[in-house]
Protein backbone atom coordinates (compact mmCIF):
# COMPACT_ATOMS: atom_id res chain seq x y z
CA UNK A 1 0.00 0.00 0.00
CA UNK A 2 3.05 2.24 0.05
CA UNK A 3 6.29 2.34 -1.82
CA UNK A 4 9.94 2.54 -0.87
CA UNK A 5 11.11 6.14 -0.74
CA UNK A 6 14.54 5.33 -2.18
CA UNK A 7 14.98 2.23 -4.37
CA UNK A 8 17.44 0.00 -2.56
CA UNK A 9 17.93 -3.70 -3.16
CA UNK A 10 17.19 -5.25 0.25
CA UNK A 11 17.07 -8.91 -0.77
CA UNK A 12 20.47 -9.75 0.68
CA UNK A 13 20.65 -7.25 3.55
CA UNK A 14 20.81 -8.25 7.18
CA UNK A 15 18.35 -5.75 8.69
CA UNK A 16 19.99 -5.91 12.10
CA UNK A 17 23.35 -4.78 10.67
CA UNK A 18 22.26 -1.61 8.89
CA UNK A 19 23.59 0.61 11.67
CA UNK A 20 27.35 0.43 12.41
CA UNK A 21 28.08 -1.41 15.65
CA UNK A 22 29.77 1.51 17.41
CA UNK A 23 27.00 3.89 16.41
CA UNK A 24 24.39 1.41 17.59
CA UNK A 25 26.04 1.26 21.00
CA UNK A 26 25.70 5.03 21.25
CA UNK A 27 22.07 4.98 20.15
CA UNK A 28 21.26 2.26 22.67
CA UNK A 29 22.21 4.48 25.61
CA UNK A 30 19.28 4.87 27.99
CA UNK A 31 18.78 8.01 30.01
CA UNK A 32 16.74 8.78 33.12
CA UNK A 33 17.07 12.49 32.28
CA UNK A 34 15.69 12.14 28.76
CA UNK A 35 12.85 9.95 29.98
CA UNK A 36 11.91 12.25 32.85
CA UNK A 37 11.96 15.33 30.61
CA UNK A 38 9.70 13.57 28.11
CA UNK A 39 7.35 12.38 30.84
CA UNK A 40 7.24 15.83 32.46
CA UNK A 41 6.39 17.42 29.12
CA UNK A 42 3.64 14.91 28.44
CA UNK A 43 2.15 15.39 31.91
CA UNK A 44 2.36 19.17 31.49
CA UNK A 45 0.28 18.99 28.32
CA UNK A 46 -2.19 16.77 30.13
CA UNK A 47 -2.33 19.03 33.18
CA UNK A 48 -2.82 22.30 31.31
CA UNK A 49 -5.35 20.98 28.81
CA UNK A 50 -7.19 19.00 31.49
CA UNK A 51 -7.33 22.03 33.75
CA UNK A 52 -8.72 24.18 30.95
CA UNK A 53 -11.31 21.56 30.07
CA UNK A 54 -12.55 21.07 33.63
CA UNK A 55 -12.70 24.79 34.41
CA UNK A 56 -14.09 26.06 31.11
CA UNK A 57 -16.51 23.31 30.04
CA UNK A 58 -19.56 24.93 31.60
CA UNK A 59 -18.82 28.51 30.64
CA UNK A 60 -19.50 28.29 26.89
CA UNK A 61 -15.88 29.27 26.35
CA UNK A 62 -14.46 28.59 22.90
CA UNK A 63 -11.44 26.96 24.50
CA UNK A 64 -13.31 24.12 26.22
CA UNK A 65 -13.70 21.84 23.20
CA UNK A 66 -10.10 22.21 21.91
CA UNK A 67 -8.88 21.65 25.47
CA UNK A 68 -10.97 18.46 25.69
CA UNK A 69 -9.48 17.16 22.43
CA UNK A 70 -5.92 17.87 23.51
CA UNK A 71 -6.53 16.47 26.98
CA UNK A 72 -8.13 13.34 25.55
CA UNK A 73 -5.27 12.87 23.11
CA UNK A 74 -2.70 13.28 25.88
CA UNK A 75 -4.51 10.68 27.99
CA UNK A 76 -4.82 8.18 25.15
CA UNK A 77 -1.20 8.62 24.09
CA UNK A 78 0.02 7.74 27.55
CA UNK A 79 -0.13 4.36 25.84
CA UNK A 80 3.07 5.43 24.08
CA UNK A 81 4.74 6.05 27.43
CA UNK A 82 3.61 2.61 28.59
CA UNK A 83 4.91 1.07 25.36
CA UNK A 84 8.35 2.61 25.77
CA UNK A 85 8.51 1.62 29.42
CA UNK A 86 7.55 -2.03 28.88
CA UNK A 87 10.59 -2.21 26.60
CA UNK A 88 12.48 -0.72 29.57
CA UNK A 89 14.08 1.85 27.28
CA UNK A 90 12.33 5.01 28.49
CA UNK A 91 14.65 5.25 31.49
CA UNK A 92 17.97 3.77 32.54
CA UNK A 93 16.37 2.55 35.78
CA UNK A 94 14.37 -0.71 35.43
CA UNK A 95 12.28 0.16 38.48
CA UNK A 96 11.40 3.56 37.06
CA UNK A 97 10.42 1.95 33.76
CA UNK A 98 8.11 -0.50 35.52
CA UNK A 99 6.53 2.11 37.81
CA UNK A 100 5.84 4.61 35.02
CA UNK A 101 4.55 1.82 32.77
CA UNK A 102 1.91 0.84 35.34
CA UNK A 103 0.68 4.39 35.95
CA UNK A 104 0.74 5.23 32.24
CA UNK A 105 -1.38 2.13 31.67
CA UNK A 106 -3.78 3.25 34.38
CA UNK A 107 -4.29 6.57 32.56
CA UNK A 108 -4.62 5.03 29.09
CA UNK A 109 -6.66 1.95 30.13
CA UNK A 110 -3.93 -0.59 29.48
CA UNK A 111 -2.31 -2.94 31.95
CA UNK A 112 1.46 -2.89 31.71
CA UNK A 113 2.00 -6.25 33.40
CA UNK A 114 -0.17 -7.99 30.80
CA UNK A 115 0.93 -5.80 27.90
CA UNK A 116 4.63 -6.52 28.46
CA UNK A 117 4.09 -10.20 27.66
CA UNK A 118 1.60 -9.50 24.87
CA UNK A 119 3.91 -7.01 23.21
CA UNK A 120 6.94 -9.29 23.47
CA UNK A 121 5.13 -11.79 21.26
CA UNK A 122 4.11 -9.03 18.87
CA UNK A 123 7.78 -8.24 18.33
CA UNK A 124 8.78 -11.89 18.14
CA UNK A 125 6.07 -12.76 15.60
CA UNK A 126 5.33 -9.41 13.91
CA UNK A 127 2.70 -9.80 11.19
CA UNK A 128 2.79 -13.62 11.31
CA UNK A 129 -0.83 -14.87 11.12
CA UNK A 130 -1.71 -17.19 13.96
CA UNK A 131 1.23 -16.00 16.08
CA UNK A 132 1.20 -12.20 16.28
CA UNK A 133 -1.43 -11.39 18.96
CA UNK A 134 -2.12 -8.02 17.34
CA UNK A 135 -3.56 -9.85 14.33
CA UNK A 136 -6.27 -11.34 16.55
CA UNK A 137 -8.00 -7.98 16.06
CA UNK A 138 -8.75 -8.04 12.37
CA UNK A 139 -7.69 -5.08 10.23
CA UNK A 140 -10.52 -3.16 8.53
CA UNK A 141 -11.60 -4.74 5.26
CA UNK A 142 -14.18 -2.17 4.19
CA UNK A 143 -15.34 1.35 4.92
CA UNK A 144 -17.72 0.28 7.68
CA UNK A 145 -15.01 -1.64 9.52
CA UNK A 146 -12.63 1.27 9.05
CA UNK A 147 -14.98 3.81 10.65
CA UNK A 148 -15.83 1.39 13.44
CA UNK A 149 -12.14 0.88 14.16
CA UNK A 150 -11.50 4.63 14.29
CA UNK A 151 -14.41 5.12 16.68
CA UNK A 152 -12.61 3.08 19.31
CA UNK A 153 -15.77 1.09 20.11
CA UNK A 154 -14.22 -2.35 19.42
CA UNK A 155 -11.23 -1.33 21.54
CA UNK A 156 -13.43 -0.39 24.51
CA UNK A 157 -15.42 -3.61 24.25
CA UNK A 158 -12.26 -5.69 24.00
CA UNK A 159 -10.65 -3.91 26.95
CA UNK A 160 -13.63 -4.33 29.28
CA UNK A 161 -14.00 -8.01 28.40
CA UNK A 162 -10.26 -8.59 28.67
CA UNK A 163 -9.93 -6.90 32.06
CA UNK A 164 -12.68 -8.94 33.63
CA UNK A 165 -11.36 -12.17 32.13
CA UNK A 166 -7.92 -11.47 33.54
CA UNK A 167 -9.22 -10.28 36.91
CA UNK A 168 -11.23 -13.49 37.29
CA UNK A 169 -8.19 -15.61 36.47
CA UNK A 170 -9.37 -16.77 33.04
CA UNK A 171 -6.03 -16.82 31.23
CA UNK A 172 -6.91 -19.41 28.62
CA UNK A 173 -6.05 -18.18 25.13
CA UNK A 174 -3.08 -16.12 26.30
CA UNK A 175 -0.10 -18.31 25.35
CA UNK A 176 2.29 -15.40 25.85
CA UNK A 177 1.59 -15.33 29.59
CA UNK A 178 3.74 -18.07 31.16
CA UNK A 179 2.60 -19.92 34.24
CA UNK A 180 5.20 -18.08 36.30
CA UNK A 181 3.66 -14.69 35.44
CA UNK A 182 -0.01 -15.49 35.90
CA UNK A 183 -0.33 -14.47 39.54
CA UNK A 184 1.49 -11.20 38.85
CA UNK A 185 -0.75 -10.36 35.89
CA UNK A 186 -3.97 -11.14 37.74
CA UNK A 187 -2.88 -9.12 40.78
CA UNK A 188 -1.87 -6.14 38.64
CA UNK A 189 -5.19 -6.10 36.77
CA UNK A 190 -7.15 -6.35 40.02
CA UNK A 191 -5.25 -3.41 41.51
CA UNK A 192 -5.95 -1.36 38.40
CA UNK A 193 -9.67 -2.14 38.52
CA UNK A 194 -9.62 -1.25 42.22
CA UNK A 195 -8.24 2.23 41.41
CA UNK A 196 -10.99 2.76 38.82
CA UNK A 197 -13.59 1.56 41.32
CA UNK A 198 -12.27 4.01 43.90
CA UNK A 199 -12.55 6.84 41.37
CA UNK A 200 -16.16 5.90 40.63
CA UNK A 201 -16.98 5.66 44.35
CA UNK A 202 -15.47 9.07 45.09
CA UNK A 203 -17.45 10.59 42.22
CA UNK A 204 -20.69 9.14 43.59
CA UNK A 205 -19.99 10.24 47.17
CA UNK A 206 -18.99 13.76 46.13
CA UNK A 207 -21.91 14.23 43.77
CA UNK A 208 -19.51 15.44 41.08
CA UNK A 209 -18.99 13.20 38.00
CA UNK A 210 -15.21 13.62 38.14
CA UNK A 211 -14.51 10.08 36.97
CA UNK A 212 -16.56 10.63 33.81
CA UNK A 213 -15.57 14.24 33.06
CA UNK A 214 -11.96 13.91 34.14
CA UNK A 215 -11.10 10.52 32.64
CA UNK A 216 -13.74 8.46 30.87
CA UNK A 217 -15.12 11.11 28.48
CA UNK A 218 -11.70 12.61 27.58
CA UNK A 219 -10.23 9.16 26.94
CA UNK A 220 -13.20 8.31 24.71
CA UNK A 221 -12.49 11.52 22.76
CA UNK A 222 -8.78 10.73 22.53
CA UNK A 223 -9.12 7.12 21.45
CA UNK A 224 -10.07 7.83 17.80
CA UNK A 225 -6.90 9.93 17.53
CA UNK A 226 -4.80 7.07 18.88
CA UNK A 227 -6.58 4.54 16.63
CA UNK A 228 -5.86 6.79 13.63
CA UNK A 229 -2.16 6.73 14.49
CA UNK A 230 -1.82 3.05 15.42
CA UNK A 231 -3.70 1.83 12.36
CA UNK A 232 -0.81 3.08 10.23
CA UNK A 233 1.85 0.94 11.89
CA UNK A 234 1.27 -2.37 10.09
CA UNK A 235 -1.89 -2.08 7.97
CA UNK A 236 -1.10 -2.97 4.37
CA UNK A 237 2.41 -4.17 5.19
CA UNK A 238 3.75 -7.62 4.40
CA UNK A 239 2.70 -10.53 6.57
CA UNK A 240 6.10 -12.13 6.89
CA UNK A 241 9.22 -11.99 9.07
CA UNK A 242 10.96 -9.18 7.18
CA UNK A 243 11.12 -6.11 9.45
CA UNK A 244 11.94 -3.90 6.48
CA UNK A 245 8.59 -4.66 4.86
CA UNK A 246 6.17 -5.64 7.66
CA UNK A 247 6.17 -2.29 9.50
CA UNK A 248 5.59 1.31 8.43
CA UNK A 249 7.30 4.53 9.48
CA UNK A 250 5.22 7.69 9.18
CA UNK A 251 6.89 11.09 9.02
CA UNK A 252 4.65 13.46 10.91
CA UNK A 253 4.44 16.71 12.86
CA UNK A 254 6.45 17.27 16.02
CA UNK A 255 3.44 17.45 18.40
CA UNK A 256 2.38 13.95 17.31
CA UNK A 257 5.92 12.60 17.58
CA UNK A 258 6.16 14.17 21.03
CA UNK A 259 2.93 12.74 22.46
CA UNK A 260 3.67 9.38 20.83
CA UNK A 261 7.21 9.22 22.25
CA UNK A 262 8.60 8.93 18.68
CA UNK A 263 6.57 5.80 17.94
CA UNK A 264 5.86 7.05 14.39
CA UNK A 265 9.44 5.86 13.71
CA UNK A 266 7.90 2.45 13.98
CA UNK A 267 9.93 0.44 11.48
CA UNK A 268 13.09 1.70 13.18
CA UNK A 269 11.69 0.58 16.52
CA UNK A 270 10.90 -2.91 15.22
CA UNK A 271 14.31 -3.25 13.63
CA UNK A 272 16.08 -2.14 16.80
CA UNK A 273 13.71 -2.32 19.82
CA UNK A 274 16.66 -1.68 22.12
CA UNK A 275 17.01 1.91 20.86
CA UNK A 276 15.31 4.40 23.24
CA UNK A 277 12.61 6.73 21.95
CA UNK A 278 14.89 9.78 22.03
CA UNK A 279 17.38 8.17 19.59
CA UNK A 280 14.93 6.85 16.98
CA UNK A 281 15.17 9.97 14.80
CA UNK A 282 18.93 9.45 14.57
CA UNK A 283 18.41 5.78 13.75
CA UNK A 284 16.06 6.86 10.97
CA UNK A 285 18.94 8.66 9.26
CA UNK A 286 20.64 5.29 8.74
CA UNK A 287 17.56 3.21 8.01
CA UNK A 288 15.42 5.48 5.81
CA UNK A 289 16.79 4.22 2.45
CA UNK A 290 15.92 0.62 3.28
CA UNK A 291 12.35 0.99 4.51
CA UNK A 292 9.68 -0.43 2.22
CA UNK A 293 6.88 1.56 3.87
CA UNK A 294 7.73 5.19 4.51
CA UNK A 295 4.92 7.74 4.32
CA UNK A 296 4.95 11.57 4.55
CA UNK A 297 2.06 11.84 7.01
CA UNK A 298 -0.88 9.93 8.44
CA UNK A 299 -3.34 11.42 5.97
CA UNK A 300 -1.37 9.81 3.16
CA UNK A 301 -1.45 6.43 4.91
CA UNK A 302 -5.20 6.62 5.41
CA UNK A 303 -5.76 7.73 1.84
CA UNK A 304 -4.07 4.50 0.78
CA UNK A 305 -6.09 2.43 3.27
CA UNK A 306 -9.39 3.89 2.12
CA UNK A 307 -8.29 3.71 -1.52
CA UNK A 308 -7.68 0.00 -1.05
CA UNK A 309 -11.34 -0.43 0.03
CA UNK A 310 -12.58 1.46 -3.02
CA UNK A 311 -10.32 -0.27 -5.55
Q: Per-residue pLDDT tens for 246-282? A: 999 999 999 999 999 999 999 999 999 999 999 999 9
* Domain coordinates in residue numbering, the chain: 17-310
* Residues of the chain above pLDDT 70, percent: 95
What is the distance between the alpha carbons of residues 242 and 20, in angstroms, rounded to a whole number? Answer: 20
Using one digit for the tens of pLDDT, what is the confidence trace for 228-241? 999 999 999 999 99
* pLDDT over 70 (residue 169): yes
**Would you state the pLDDT for residue 5?**
43
Confidence of residue 13 (pLDDT cuts 50, 70, 90): low
* pLDDT over 50 (residue 1): no
Whole-number mean pLDDT of the chain? 93
**Would you state the pLDDT for residue 310?**
72
- How far, in Å, are 51, 131, 241, 276 from residue 125 at the CA level? 41, 6, 7, 21
Q: Are 119 and 86 in contact (CB under 8 A)?
A: yes
Using one digit for the tens of pLDDT, what is the confidence trace for 200-222? 999 999 999 999 999 999 999 99
| DSSP type of residue 110 | -
Q: Are 236 and 250 in contact (CB under 8 A)?
A: no
Closest of 234, 41, 67 to residue 137, by C-alpha: 234
| DSSP type of residue 294 | E
Using one digit for the tens of pLDDT, what is the confidence trace for 70-95? 999 999 999 999 999 999 999 999 99
For 240, the 3-state DSSP assignment is coil
**Would you state the pLDDT for residue 7?**
41
DSSP per-residue letters across 139-153: PP-SHHHHHHHHHTH
Which helix H or strand E contains 154, and what residues bound it? helix 153-167
Confidence of residue 17 (pLDDT cuts 50, 70, 90): confident
What's the rounded mean pLDDT across residues 169-178?
94
Angle (CA) 185-80-114 rounded to 5° is 10
**Would you state the pLDDT for residue 249?**
98
Amino acid sequence: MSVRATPVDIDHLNPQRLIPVERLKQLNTRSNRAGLLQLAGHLAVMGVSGGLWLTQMGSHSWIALPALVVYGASLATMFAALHECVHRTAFASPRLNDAVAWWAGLLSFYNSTFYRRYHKWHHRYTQIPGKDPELEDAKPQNGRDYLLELSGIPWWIGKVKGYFRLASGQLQGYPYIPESARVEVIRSVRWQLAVYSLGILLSILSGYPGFVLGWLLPLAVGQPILRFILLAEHTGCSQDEDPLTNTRTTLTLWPIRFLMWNMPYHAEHHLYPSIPFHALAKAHEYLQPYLAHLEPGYLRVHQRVVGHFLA
